A and B are shown apart, each in its own frame.
Chain A
Amino acid sequence: MIQWLNDPGNWTASGGILDQLWSHLQYALFALVVATALALPVGLLIGHAGRGRWLVTVANAVRALPVVGLLILLYVMLAPHIHGRGDTVYLLPTEIVLILLAIPPILASTVAGVENVDPAVRDAAAGMGMRGGQVVRRVELPNALPLVFSGVRSATLQVIATATVAAYLGLGGLGRFVYDGQASQNFAERDAGALLVAMLAVAADLVLALAQRYTVSRGVSGRFSRRTLVGDPVATADAPPSTHTA
């Protein structure tokens, strides 16, 4: 397997590792962007209004469906309605499966994130004259962000792992090596493919962790520089902040 990975030809050839890595990333990214664009606003609305929680339950139930079974079912259902246009007939069912997989974690964690915002904070926001949308954008979303990120990250891991099945329908992606290696009994190629998927997933998670670090307010994540905490003169006679011990 190491040998297979060390062969520069396997990387740069047409249909080689770099090509498939790029395709894999595209499949996954597209699904994640669409899923986030759907689940995030809906999750914010459910959390804000405190209604429609059943949608989260339904979304979670979808997760129980077997991926490959669903893929074949969608292909069979959609294929007769799609004519020409290259890979569309394979891409559409694949992306639908990936999107369905990505929605539940993002939706559930967004709803939980908004619900976890201190009721006093929401009360103050409304009481100071923020409109509903302003409360969501300026208060609920920033405070729900750590949980939203945890949902997106868990969805990302799952989608990148599952995008392997694109190759099942004859598309590209790192799954190509897994399926081809298995079929041709080239186990080094198969295992290398699996390893590459795992590494891509970890790399994507690191990128998201970094993004989280820069978008979540320090006031929410609790990452305070030591300088502001240690040996700080508290000018008022109030009790010192409890975070001193942190």
Chain B
Amino acid sequence: MEIRKHDVLVLGTGLAGLRAAVEVLKVSKDKLSVGIVSKVHLMRSHSVAPEGGAAAVLSENDSFDQHAYDTVKGSDFLADQDVVETYVRLFPKEILQLEHWGRPWSRNDDGSVAMRLFGAHDVPRTVFAEDRTGFFLMRTLYDTLLKFENFERYDEYLALSIIIDDREFRGLLTLEKSSGNYVLFESKALVIATGGLGRLWEFTTNAHTTTGDGFAIALRAGIPLKDMEFVQWLPTCMVPHGIPATEALRGHGAVLLNSKGERFMKHYAPSKMELAARDIVSRAMITEIREGRGFKGPEDMECVMLDARPVGEDKLMTIYKTFVENARDFIGIDPLEELVPVRPAAHFAMGGIDVDINLTTIIPGIYAAGEVACPGFDGANRLGSNSLPLCLATGRIAGQNAAVYAMRKNATSSSRVFQNAEREMEKFERLTQIKGSRNPYELKKELSHIMESYVGLFRDEAGLLKALERIRQLKISYLTDLSIDDSSKVFNTELTNAIEFGFMLDVAEVITLSALKREESRGAHYRTDFPKRDDEKWLKHSVVRITDAGLAVSYRPVKITKWKPEERRY
């Protein structure tokens, strides 16, 4: 096992991770040495995908209170209001800072930054660049990182285990893909920014690499996960691949149609229509399909139709160019002329690693940022275009706090760290020696089918119980009957995929258990057997941790400052 040492480690290189790395270097004036660890090349994380934009209060017709209220209402009142009020004030600062680092924003004729309307926001406050908003943010941060000197990049290292000693963060065990060697990183602080978990489901917007690694690594290290039952389905994703058609299109006039040619959203959200909160639009689409008013789309997948023609050719060919290219290139449909087949796809984890408003976890030295972190901003449903500024803001705060922590702390060394890492390494080496009968792809297919069938948009007790039982059986198969054929060390992706699948199993169990326990419907978590929100019993966060007796669920109150819970109507 090789050892590398840095002051601060950043794990994951999407928006939150790159923003954190840049912040550590900036705050410390290039004095702290930063190790940047990613399982992909640094610029290839899935933050390149978001199309629509970033929400921020930048106009005179808008206010921080309005943005905070829209977010809290969208969250179905599960958001911690102190967190929301604090973070929305950082968003415009981040938009401005990124602009100063070179990121293009679409501008109005007078040179001011252009804004558009997004779902469940009361005013247009989403800034954008064509429909490649996430991509330009990623490239700007990657480019900006290259200005600094005191960092090492570790492209294509898969993180395996967090090493803790004396209740403090000490190191991170990884597997270097190109050599197949185990590498232990020792450092004072760690920022976990590994992104989401969409690949747990069959139909998802997420990249193949979005396998929930950070959630599982933290959980296994004893750090709790919070609000994991809340997973967002993005309404308009093109069939059969799950590539999104941005919500911004609906802000510019695109409508949803059922097989009767009807704008069915009028039955579900008469005032906001297609721009209601995402959970409401997604459930409406699936309800239409289930009640026989859907279409058979490509590869026989059931869907409804998105009519983007009202957006107009001018806009479609300029600020929605990526959408038009994707529809033409990937499914052979021209949105200027034809209806686009769409259905909701698993998209975003509202829950995540339990952190406070400063992005600190219960372990000194460990911080989390971006989608994998849950500071309590998103609650039970995230608003579209809140996630990009949230990744930036949380990356910045986590980076700052990790830097301050690392500057105050003296480097220590202990042989126990190495021994712990060796014990962890043996657990992963054991996977290759099981020599059972089932390959990781077969097992993964089974898991995503379970999640799609029982832990989807509509849930009930019987289904969740069945899912939990089958996930636990799969965990046993994984440890006793796994087969990994490829025994080469160099770039062995069968092995790395098998390790990722192990992470997915742990995360799936937490989501399913949290969903089973929460006997109400709130935001993205919908129980057909408990279809109403129940503030008396359930206005609280769920917190899951590992104990000797298995997973334990506890609850924590929601912080309410200005806005008393009310019925959510759009």
Q: Do A and B come from one complex?
A: no
Interface residues of A (CB under 8 A from B): none
